[in-house]
């Protein structure tokens, strides 16, 4: 009787013990041509055992990678794909760089700050003035969405000036949208109104006419 503790380690258990034994046998074969033939046959069996992998891009490439991994990178055969290395597979991913939370006004968000940066780089003119007005209206909408308290156009202009480090200024003659135009009113809940006895009255009226 063979116990699991006496068997070799399976790096990918989804293919089963028999595939693992086949790979170990291929490693022991001295003739390279025979090893290549057995490796290709094993790849075909691995594909049949895992038909769901056929929907994966580079299906054959993944099977060959699994073959080398299951052999603990000891298998010496001619692969149609670059042979993976232990160092690449065990290498830890580089830590992600998270954006800093240094947002001047959190209720406006970081994306509007990036838009403002792009607007600052534009040439002076009608297009830039139109964009500045759109940005200011967006700031006003964001402010009113975050807080239902009223806000003046002067306050929005001051926020725009702060966010752009003084590079964008709202013209004095510009009138921003009114809060009623920016924020849609909440829909009123409709109350269900029953027949209130109308049906019975109509029924009685019909009987009197008979």
> What is the predicted pLDDT for the residue at 10?
77
In terms of domains, do 10 and 86 share one?
A: yes
Question: Is residue 208 in a domain?
Answer: no
* pLDDT tens for the 210 residues of the chain, in order: 555 555 667 778 888 889 999 999 999 999 999 999 999 999 999 988 877 777 677 888 989 999 999 999 999 999 999 998 888 777 787 777 765 556 677 778 788 888 999 999 999 999 998 999 999 999 988 888 887 678 888 998 999 999 998 899 888 788 888 887 766 665 666 665 555 555 545 545 555 555
In terms of domains, do 116 and 81 share one?
A: no
> What is the predicted pLDDT for the residue at 66?
92
Boundary of a domain, candidates 90, 120, 135: 90
Question: Is residue 198 in a domain?
Answer: no
Domains contained in the chain, number: 2
Boundary of a domain, candidates 90, 119, 138: 90
> What is the predicted pLDDT for the residue at 14?
85
In terms of domains, do 137 and 79 share one?
A: no
Question: Is residue 76 in a domain?
Answer: yes
Buried b (16+ CB within 10 A) or exposed e, 143-165: bbeeeeeeeebeebbebbeebbe
> What is the predicted pLDDT for the residue at 204?
53
* Structure token digits, residue 194: 């029953």
Question: Is residue 157 in a domain?
Answer: yes
> What is the predicted pLDDT for the residue at 110?
81
Boundaries of domain holding 124: 110-182
In terms of domains, do 81 and 123 share one?
A: no
In terms of domains, do 84 and 128 share one?
A: no
pTM: 0.45
Smallest CA-to-CA distance from 135 within 155, 150, 113, 151 is with: 113
Question: Is residue 201 in a domain?
Answer: no
In terms of domains, do 73 and 128 share one?
A: no
**Alpha helix (H) residue ranges in the chain:** 17-28, 32-49, 59-70, 86-90, 110-120, 126-146, 153-163, 179-182, 198-209
d(CA 104, CA 33): 67
How long is the chain?
210
> What is the predicted pLDDT for the residue at 9?
72
On whether the CB atoms of residues 173 and 151 are closer than 8 A, the answer is no
């Amino acid at each position: 009787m063979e116990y699991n503790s006496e068997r070799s380690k399976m790096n990918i258990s989804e293919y089963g013990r028999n595939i693992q034994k086949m790979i170990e046998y291929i490693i022991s074969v001295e003739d390279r041509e025979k090893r290549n033939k057995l490796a290709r046959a094993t790849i075909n069996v691995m594909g049949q055992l895992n038909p769901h992998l056929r929907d994966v891009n580079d299906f054959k490439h993944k099977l060959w990678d699994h073959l080398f991994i299951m052999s603990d990178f000891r298998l010496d055969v001619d692969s149609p794909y670059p042979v993976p290395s232990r160092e690449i597979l065990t290498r830890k991913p580089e830590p992600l760089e998270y954006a800093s939370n240094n947002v001047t006004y959190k209720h406006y968000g970081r994306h509007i700050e990036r838009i403002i940066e792009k607007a600052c780089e534009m040439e002076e003119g009608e297009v830039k003035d139109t964009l500045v007005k759109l940005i200011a209206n967006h700031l006003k909408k964001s402010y009113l969405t975050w807080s239902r308290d009223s806000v003046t156009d002067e306050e929005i202009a001051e926020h725009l000036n702060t966010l752009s480090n003084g590079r964008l200024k709202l013209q004095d003659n510009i009138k921003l949208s009114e809060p009623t135009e920016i924020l849609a009113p909440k829909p009123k809940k409709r109350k269900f109104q029953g027949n209130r006895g109308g049906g019975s009255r109509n029924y009685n009226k019909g009987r009197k006419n008979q």
